[in-house]
Amino acid sequence: MRRLLRTPAGLAGTVLVTAMVVLAVAGPPIWGAEAERIDSASILQGATAAHPLGTDNLGRDILARVLVAGRLSLTLALLATLVGATAGVLLGALPSVLPRRGARLVTGSVNALVAFPGLLLAMFTAVIAGLGARGAVIGIGTAVAPGFARLTQTLAASVAGADYVSAARMLGVSRWRVMTRHVLPNIAEPLILNFTQALGGALLALAGMSFLGLGVQPPSFDWGRLLFDGFGRIYATPAVALGPAAAIALAGIGFNLLGDALAHAAARRTAPPGTDAEPGAPRPVALGEPDPDAVLEVRDLTVAFPGGVTPVRGLSLTIAPGEIVGLVGESGSGKSLTAAAIGGLVPYPGEVRAGRLRLCGADVRELPEAERRRLLGTSLAMVFQNPMAALNPALKVGGQLAEVAVVHQGASRAEAAARAVDRLDHVRVPEPATRARQHPHELSGGMRQRAVIAMGLMGAPRLIVADEPTTALDVTVQREILRLLREVTAETGAATLFISHDIAVVGELCHRVVVMYAGRVVEELPVGELASGAAHPYTRALVASLPDMETDRSLPLASIPGRQPPPAEVPDGCAFAARCELATARCAAERPPLIPYGTARRVACWEV
């Protein structure tokens, strides 16, 4: 409830609806007499001091009548919604109780009725039931029912698979009892939510019916009827239509805002509360001279999100041309955000800080916008994990490749299309000209990943960032893609940053391995030393957890006990200390720096 009042919309909705309810209760006793008092001296007046909204054809005060009419408007709306909700829930519950054929008939009719405008149903019913409040209530109730029926059906179907329902079924509980005892109580909340929204809709629909003269008939009056009377005089005295119109509008807005806010509150109840701590300020680090030959040089890269979540912490990485570097770590270690930061693709509100972020010898952050776009668009190729999702389903494959050349290299459409086919052929997509004219869903997963790689080859890539490019593919296709990446790197001289959680794949493809843990690099080593010479206990554990030919398959696979700390809770000391067999008091207290160890490798560990 407090959450409901915190948002302006929720607050406004609550206030408006409360005011309506108070008016419905208190209105008639207070203003009832005034609303009925006939005054032949002041008939059909506009706005005056005595009658701010004017008077009707018997001289009755319209303001008082509006205040009194609230009760009837709300009561009728409530009645209609109750009628509709009851009928709808019964109708929606029927398919769960009826035999199959009957169930399908009911479901089909409900689906047909839902698509039918409520006002038409209401008018149909009103013709049969006759003009007046009763006909309108039955009519609007009829119009409300299909929505409830559909909702009940959907919800009941979602609950029907639950274990406790299956259990009750197996115990031989009758279908009707399962429905009333097990299903309905569990779907009550969304139904009640829908009731609020339907109530607002019913109020407006009833007002509309009365306004057309098909609803409440004199001498009774609701807001719609008052509007009907006022509308006839709108040319002479517009004020008389104002009161009832405002009342209807406010009621509609109130119920709608409240319904929305309730729905939001219900949806958010499961979401965890966020913390508001600010991420720590970065410590200045000595950067040293930039490496002129490196394709990519990253120094002290940090990616932080509000709430103290810092998935990447002071990462440094240098990649030389032609080199294939594997970035390894468990999910959540910050690998993919590192890739996103290099590509300038960290989503808002993530914040990227780095001492240095140089691509092809230029600091990406200092380039003018146009040049940066061209550099990142042509020199950097990105390959994502899921090839099924990486191509736009609405556009042809060839077009998606060609646009790189059109946008960044000023190619004509024909040139670009020809180059796209050439690139597809280059990555060995069979029948490239045909494939280029197809949509992504007509290609297999492996072919789509080839197409994405071909897209990266449209420009002159210096760095290919491949983020788990083979994880979503089956094993034989994986090998093809790995081979393709190796060939592409060899022939273009581009470097590749290959991100993976699979140390076996990395060992097969890469020249150098960078191991990440909890947002930091813990070890960097040449791939040849991976199997025998890994120094960091985490790297060793990763290698040890790999099954090989000698692994006894009857035993469970080795795994590293414990869990990686989440990015908001990384400890001050070594993040791996809690899972490390070698850990000492120093490891828990003080973070080991990444320092050279032997030749061509670096390790962050106190115990090596």
Partner 1 sequence: MTGSPRPPAPRAPGRALGRVRGGFVLRRVVRFAVSLAVLLVASFAMIHLIPGDPVRASLGPAAPVELVAARREALGLDEPILSQLLSYMRGVFRGDFGTSFLSGEPVGEIIASRLPNTLGLALLATVVALLVAVPLGMWAAIRTENGRNRGTEAAFTSATGTAVAVPEFLYSIALVAVFAIGLGWFPPAGQAGPVSYVLPILSLAISPTAMIARISRAETLRELGTDYVRLARAKRLPAPRLYFRHVLPNTLTATLTVGGLLLSALIAGSVLVEYVFAWPGLGLRIVESITQKDYPVAQGVILVYGAIVLVVNLLVDLLLGVLDPTSELKET
Sole window of 32-40, 121-129, 355-363, 583-591 interacting with partner 1 (rule: CB under 8 A): 121-129
Of residues 231 and 606, the one with the C-beta less far from partner 1: 231
Of residues 117 and 161, the one with the C-beta less far from partner 1: 117
CB contact set of 573 (below 8 Å; sequence gap of 6+): 586, 587, 588, 589, 590, 591
Of residues 226 and 535, the one with the C-beta less far from partner 1: 226
Token digits for 59?
């001289």
Of residues 364 and 603, the one with the C-beta less far from partner 1: 364
CB 567 within 8 A of CB 518: yes
CB contact set of 53 (below 8 Å; sequence gap of 6+): 47, 61, 62, 63, 66, 239, 240, 242, 243
367-385 CB burial, b ≥16 within 10 A, e <16: eeeeebeebbebbbbbbbb
493 binds partner 1 (CB under 8 A): no
Least Å distance between CB 205 and partner 1?
A: 8
118 binds partner 1 (CB under 8 A): yes
Of residues 238 and 321, the one with the C-beta less far from partner 1: 238
Of residues 338 and 400, the one with the C-beta less far from partner 1: 400
The sign of the CA dihedral 575, 577, 579, 580 is positive
345 binds partner 1 (CB under 8 A): yes
Of residues 298 and 515, the one with the C-beta less far from partner 1: 298
Sole window of 70-78, 360-368, 384-392, 558-566 interacting with partner 1 (rule: CB under 8 A): 384-392
CB 422 within 8 A of CB 490: no
Of residues 480 and 508, the one with the C-beta less far from partner 1: 480
| Contact with partner 1 (CB under 8 A) among 190, 343, 355, 526 | 343
Binding characters for partner 1, 251-270, by CB under 8 A (x = yes): -xx-xxx--x----------
Token digits for 110?
């409900």
102 binds partner 1 (CB under 8 A): no
461 binds partner 1 (CB under 8 A): no
| Contact with partner 1 (CB under 8 A) among 442, 487, 491, 569 | 442
119 binds partner 1 (CB under 8 A): yes
Binding characters for partner 1, 130-169, by CB under 8 A (x = yes): xx--------------------------------------
Binding characters for partner 1, 392-431, by CB under 8 A (x = yes): xxxx----x--xx--xx-------------------x-x-
Q: Measure the CA–CA gap between 111 and 94, rounded to whole angstroms.
A: 14
CB 388 within 8 A of CB 445: yes
Sole window of 50-58, 235-243, 496-504, 546-554 interacting with partner 1 (rule: CB under 8 A): 235-243
By CB under 8 A, the count of residues binding partner 1 is 82
Strands lying side by side in the sheet with 380-383: 380-383, 463-467, 495-500, 324-328, 512-517, 520-526, 602-603, 595-596
128 binds partner 1 (CB under 8 A): yes
443 binds partner 1 (CB under 8 A): yes
Least Å distance between CB 459 and partner 1?
A: 9
CB 382 within 8 A of CB 461: no
Q: Give 42-101 as a DSSP string.
A: GTT--S-SS-TT-B-TT--BHHHHHHHHHHHHHHHHHHHHHHHHHHHHHHHHHHHHS-HH
Q: Measure the CA–CA gap between 468 and 499, rounded to whole angstroms.
A: 5
Sole window of 123-131, 172-180, 547-555, 556-564 interacting with partner 1 (rule: CB under 8 A): 123-131
CB 448 within 8 A of CB 393: no
Question: 176's torsion region: left (phi>0), alpha (psi -120 to 50) or beta?
Answer: alpha
H helices then E strands: how many in the chain? Answer: 23, 13
Of residues 98 and 608, the one with the C-beta less far from partner 1: 98
CB contact set of 554 (below 8 Å; sequence gap of 6+): none
Sole window of 26-34, 270-278, 437-445, 585-593 interacting with partner 1 (rule: CB under 8 A): 437-445
Least Å distance between CB 331 and partner 1?
A: 17
Least Å distance between CB 119 and partner 1?
A: 4
227 binds partner 1 (CB under 8 A): yes
391 binds partner 1 (CB under 8 A): yes
Of residues 169 and 264, the one with the C-beta less far from partner 1: 264
CB 81 within 8 A of CB 144: yes
Least Å distance between CB 541 and partner 1?
A: 31
Least Å distance between CB 106 and partner 1?
A: 13
- Strand 512-517 relative to strand 324-328, pairing: parallel
In this structure, the number of other CB atoms found within 10 A of the CB of residue 361 comes to 13
Least Å distance between CB 124 and partner 1?
A: 6
| Contact with partner 1 (CB under 8 A) among 249, 287, 460, 531 | 249
544 binds partner 1 (CB under 8 A): no
9 binds partner 1 (CB under 8 A): yes
Q: What are phi and psi of 562, to 5 degrees?
A: 90, 180
Sole window of 95-103, 242-250, 358-366, 499-507 interacting with partner 1 (rule: CB under 8 A): 242-250
Sole window of 79-87, 105-113, 271-279, 549-557 interacting with partner 1 (rule: CB under 8 A): 105-113
Alpha helices in 98-212, H assignment, sequence order: 100-114, 118-129, 133-160, 163-170, 175-177, 188-211
Least Å distance between CB 321 and partner 1?
A: 20
Question: 301's torsion region: left (phi>0), alpha (psi -120 to 50) or beta?
Answer: beta
Q: What are phi and psi of 242, to 5 degrees?
A: -65, -50
Of residues 202 and 570, the one with the C-beta less far from partner 1: 202
